[in-house]
Amino acid sequence: MAIIAVYNIKGGVGKTATAVNLAYLSARNGTSTLLCDMDSQGSASYYFRIKPTKKFNADKFLKGGKSVARGIRGTDYEDLDMLPADFTYRNIDIALDEFKRSKRQIQKILKPLAAEYSNIFLDCPPNVTLLSENIFYAADILLIPFIPTTLSYLSFGKLIDFFKKTGIDRKKLYVFFSMVQKQKRMHMDMMQSFAGRKRILNTHIPFLADVEKMGIFRRPVPDMRPNSPASHAYEKLWREVQEIIARE
C-alpha cells in the first residue's frame, strides 16, 4: 500500500505520462489502483477519456468522504479507477483557505481511499503551492521526473530548500531522469554528475515518440505499444518503485 505523488516544480517534464503509465502497470498486476488527477489542466483525465461528473469540483474534492467517492470513475482497465480533475482545481489554493490553510487536508481526504485502493497515484500540478505542500505531507513517495538540464537542476535545488525549510521528510523524495536524449552531451554530463548520489533511481525514461503519441491514442504506452522501448522503460521504473514500496 502506498500513496505515490509524481511532482516537479517545472512543467513539461513527463509527470502525467509517468503517473498514467505507472498507475496502469500497478493495476495490470491485479492491484486495485486509483489515479488522482490533481492538475486543473486535466491531462491525465484526458488520456483516459474521462471527464469529471457535472457536480464535481474543487469544493467537493476538499470536502472529502462521499463527495470524493462519487467523483471516482472507472477507466477502461480492470482494477484502475480515476478521480478526474476539474477546471476549478486552478483555484484550489483559495478554496483551501476555508480549511484555515491546512497542510493536512489532502492527507485527510486520501485516508479513507487508501483503505479501498492498494496504490494511489497523484498527478500533481507544477509550482510550489499550498496544494503541493499538502501533497508532500500526504504522499509516501514523491517521484520527481527530472530532465537532465541546468534549469532542472536549479529548480530541484529550490525544492530541496523548501523541504529543509518546512521540515518535511526528505526521504520521501526519489528522482529519476526523464525525457533523456542520449545524443545530447549536456544530458549525459548532467546524469554523470549525479551518479552515485542517494535517492536517484537507476531507471531513466528516454525521450521517445511513443510517449508523445499517448495524446493521440489516449491510452497508456504499455497497453498501446506493449513491446516498445518506452513500455520497457516504464516497466523497469515501476519495478524499481515497487522495491522502494516494499522497503518502506
Partner 1 sequence: MIMQLQKLIWNLPEAISLADVMTGLEENFQFEPPTATSLPRTYYDTFDWRLFKQSLLLVKEGRVWSLKDMSGQVKENLSGEPKRIFRYWWDFPASGLRDALSGLLSVRALLPASLKLSTQSLRILNKDEKTVAYVDLLEQEDGAGAHLLRSVCLREVRGYGKQFTKMTRFFNQYGKGKSTNAGEELRSALKAEGDRVPLDYSSKFAVGLDPVMSARGAVKTIYKDLLATMLRNRQGIIDDIDSEFLHDFRVAVRRTRSAMSLIKNVLEPEVAEHFQAEFRYLGQVTGPTRDLDVYLLMEDNYKSRLPQCLQPGLHYFFEDLALRRRREQKRLAQDLQGSRYQQIITDWQEYLDRDDRENPTAKSETPVEKIARKIILKRCLRVVRDGRAIHEDTPDTDLHRLRIQGKKLRYSLEFFSSLFPAKQMGKMIKQLKVLQDNLGDFNDLSVQQDMLREYLADIKPRTVKSKELAAAIGGLLTNLYHQHRRIRTHFEETFSSFASEENLTVYHQLFG
**At its nearest, how many Å lie between partner 1 and the CB of residue 81?**
6
**At its nearest, how many Å lie between partner 1 and the CB of residue 180?**
32
Give 206's contacts (C-beta < 8 A, 6+ positions apart): 179, 180, 181, 182, 229, 230, 233
DSSP state of 167: T
Which residue's CB is nearer to partner 1, number 39 or number 81?
81
Which residue's CB is nearer to partner 1, number 120 or number 159?
120
CA distance 15 to 38: 12
State the residues that interact with partner 1 by CB under 8 A: 48-51, 53, 65-66, 69, 71-74, 76, 81, 112-113, 115-116, 218
Which residue's CB is nearer to partner 1, number 111 or number 170?
111
Which residue's CB is nearer to partner 1, number 71 or number 148?
71
**At its nearest, how many Å lie between partner 1 and the CB of residue 69?**
5
Query: Closest Cα to residue 172, out of 193, 141, 211?
Result: 141
CA distance 83 to 48: 11
Which residue's CB is nearer to partner 1, number 51 or number 199?
51
* Beta carbons of 143 and 174 less than 8 angstroms apart: yes
**At its nearest, how many Å lie between partner 1 and the CB of residue 73?**
3
**At its nearest, how many Å lie between partner 1 and the CB of residue 76?**
4
Radius of gyration, alpha carbons of the chain: 17
